[in-house]
Amino acid sequence: MSATLSFIHRFEPGTDRARAPLLLLHGTGGDETDLLPLGRAVAPGASLLAPRGQVLEHGQPRFFRRLAEGVFDEADLRARVDDLARFVAEARAAYGLPAPVALGFSNGANIAAATLLLRPEALAGAALVRAMVPLAEPPETDLGAKPVLILSGALDPIVPAANAQALAGQLARAGARVEHRTLPAGHGLGQADVTLLRSWLAADATDRAA
């Protein structure tokens, strides 16, 4: 099911209203279908909303431009965050959804982190897999205890450990309830991520229903 909105996307309606919808944000070279199986596995019954990034890098979709690996075009990033927040608002109206929890991988995790910092009203929380600091100088933001899970890889060749820690610090200082776990993994997403995502998302659904 997908209405005509400002991003090419897929929407799968959920069956469990206690669960927040998931906003699935793919990594570089992915598309709107990539994370649907992960979303179904880690949040059974949740509505799934999966846009395709609108930037092309050598033909590969991304959510914002970069100047080099890990070096971001922050002016483009800020504009793309606004575009994504507008899409989320459109999709909430079209599909009748509460604010989603973002589940982002790599480039998708980075735009999710930037969205928390720049447009916090767009998200109820976020699970950030292999995320790094998206903005050198984030604005003052009040995240009002929104839940954030960061899953980093100890052997990640793209995201240095100190960078992931800095992101956790930025989000915690902005008031998010941050859980940061570092797995014995590289940049790729593995079974340990799936297990941690599932239990974090289930605990969050229980909080909300309470």
Give the footprint of ligand MLT on this chain (CB under 6 A): 27-28, 66, 69-70, 106-107, 110, 158
Separation between Cα atoms, residue 25 and residue 63, nearest integer Å: 8
Residue among 36 and 55 whose Cβ is closer to ligand MLT: 55
Distance CA 208, CA 19 (A): 8
Instruction: List the catalytic residues.
Output: 106, 156, 187
What residues have CB less than 8 Å from 152, skipping those under 6 apart?
Answer: 130, 131, 159, 161, 164, 180, 181, 182, 183
- Positive or negative, the CA dihedral 71, 76, 77, 78 is positive
Q: Which residue is nearest to ligand MLT (CB)?
A: 107
55 burial type by CB count under 10 A (0-12 exposed, 13-18 middle, 19+ buried): middle
Task: Enter the tokens of residue 75.
Answer: 């002016």
- Closest CB to ligand MLT among 69 and 137? 69
Look-up: residue for tokens 């090419």?
A: 8
Minimum Å gap between C-beta 136 and ligand MLT is 14
Name the residue nearer to ligand MLT (CB basis): 107 or 152.
107
Tokens of 112: 């999710």
CB of 85 to ligand MLT, least distance (A): 18
At closest approach, how far in Å is the CB of 95 from ligand MLT? 27
Task: Specify the residue, 43 or 185, whose C-beta has the smaller distance to ligand MLT.
Answer: 185
CB of 29 to ligand MLT, least distance (A): 8
